[in-house]
Structures are given as C-alpha cells and as structure tokens.
Amino acid sequence: MILIAFVTLSLNSKSESYVYRGNSHYLSDIVATWDGKYLYSGRSTYMGDVILTWDGKHIYNGRSSYSSDIVCSWDGKHLYKGRSSYTSDILYTWDGRHVFSGRSSYMSDILYTINLEHIFRGRSTYVSDILYTMDGPIPVPVLMFLL
C-alpha cells in the first residue's frame, strides 16, 4: 500500500518547471527548464544543456560548483556580481515583487515585476507586457540571471 502511494505521488508530482516566452504554455515557447538545481536551455534536461547551477546562495556557470565559476551571489535581497558582497557590485535589488536596477529602490528604476506565474516588463502587470511565464516555482535569483 505504501509503495502504491509513493508511485502515485511520484507520477503526480512535477519535477521540472518551465519558463515560456511571453504569455504562452506551448511546448514550442519553452526557453528554459528548471529542476531545482540546474537551469537548462529549452526543454532539455540533458547535462550538456545546463546554463547554470544554483546552490541557494550562488549561481555557477554551467554545471560547475567551483568557487572560481561563481557568476552571481545572492543575499535574499541583492544579486551581486561574482562572489562579491560589496554595494558597488550589486546588479539587481529585489523587494518581493519588483526587480530594480543596481541597489536602487526607486519606482523609476523598476526593470521587472514578478509574480508567481509571470515576469512583466517594468512596473506593468498588463498581459501585453508579459515577458515570460513560469509553470512552477523558480528562485528569483535564477530568474534575474535569465533576464
């Protein structure tokens, strides 16, 4: 009985999230696949198609987990260039809804608005301004890197 429940849960639980171009859910519009650790190009989950690796704090180039391959660092609010944590190396700032340029938090510096399903251009939440659609949870720093 336990085995049947496990198999049923395994078949019904989704192991990957997709990022689609625009307001789409068509397979042909998938630009990236997320599996919880790796971001792949397109619909692939082939290790040769890994764009980045995420460990919860750092984004690594490709499949690497070497400190020399850290592309960005995350502190929960800011995405930094490389392994840095200096304010001068802040690439983006996150306030829970908006992605700002650098360390700004001015409304005029909003680059993207992110909700659970969409990434919008600027401060907009209009359907016409949807850049990407996600069908599952993807960490904000990974999404920032994708942009």
List, for residues 58-113, the tens digit of each pLDDT value.
999 999 999 999 999 999 999 999 999 999 999 999 999 999 999 999 999 999 99
Its pTM stands at 0.86
| Any domain includes 7 | no
Number of independent structural domains in the chain: 1
pLDDT at 6: 34
**What is the rounded (10 degree) CA torsion for 48, 54, 58, 59?**
40
pLDDT at 112: 98
| Any domain includes 69 | yes
Write down the residue that tokens 């904000």 correspond to.
Answer: 140
- Domain carrying residue 76: 16-146
Outline where the chain has alpha helix (H): 2-12, 140-146
Check if the beta carbon of residue 53 is closer than 8 Å to that of residue 35: no
| Any domain includes 82 | yes
Q: Is the pLDDT higher at 72 or at 7?
A: 72
